[in-house]
Amino acid sequence: MRVIAGDFNVTQNENFKKKAKMKLFTFAELSYGELTALGFTQEFDAAKIIPPPDDGLGVKGHKVSKYHYVTTHIKPRSFKKVKDPDWKFQGVKKRTAAVPWGKYPSYGYMSPPPEDTLDNIFTKYPKKPGKYPANSNDRMIANRVVGAPYNLPPAKGTVAKHPPPPAKLAYPIDMKVSIPTFQNRLKGKNQAALNAEFRGFKNYGKIRLTSDHMAVYVEI
């Protein structure tokens, strides 16, 4: 049984490509191709997500995509200029502050590509399992902003889940005020005050101050 896990700083978004050997490849193909060719399974794979239906509406045209269900990086609590040359090379010059607007599960706190699907786990099971299981189970991202595993209707009453079914171990929302509550309280010109409360320590603040990455979990 072999397991490789870590922060790979690789987006799975297919719009980000690089030329190699006279061909265009996605960042994920270039970074993960050798591992998958050796028989490793990419546990958090956007290609395996059931794409949630989305009418493209919402705050500033916010859309929910399959990538949001494997995103592990989250936005800062305030606007920041990016100084890291590696990220600047990839076109990331600034990071906008997290907000509680938009749609489940990404709303306005998940980082956009190429800073989105950065963490992953790769597993390779023996051809003859013996005392080992034949495959992994119950993978999920330990999201304390909206709870985990993802199992709420994203749009039009349908459920988008990462296969296999949700894990037995659940991570509840770790905020005093949930995002739907913030959205229900939006009236008139109080958005700035709600943004500040959302980013406060009792809500998103303590999660973001712990880490800008959400943990990945899989039972092997």
pLDDT per position as a tens digit, 11-58: 999 988 888 777 888 899 999 999 999 999 999 998 887 665 554 444
Q: What percent helix, strand, coil does the chain show, rounded to 5?
A: 25, 20, 55
The two three-digit tokens of residue 76, written as one number: 């800062």
H or E, element range at 116:
none
pLDDT > 70? residue 1: yes
State the pTM of this model. 0.86
| Within a domain: 10 | no
The total of structural domains in the chain comes to 1
3-class secondary-structure state, position 177: coil
Question: Chain-centre distance of CA 188, in angstroms?
Answer: 31
The two three-digit tokens of residue 92, written as one number: 């990331």
Q: Report pLDDT for 212.
A: 96
| Within a domain: 28 | no
| Within a domain: 144 | yes
pLDDT per position as a tens digit, 87-125: 887 888 899 999 999 888 899 999 999 999 999 999 999
Q: Which domain holds residue 142?
A: 46-117+134-219
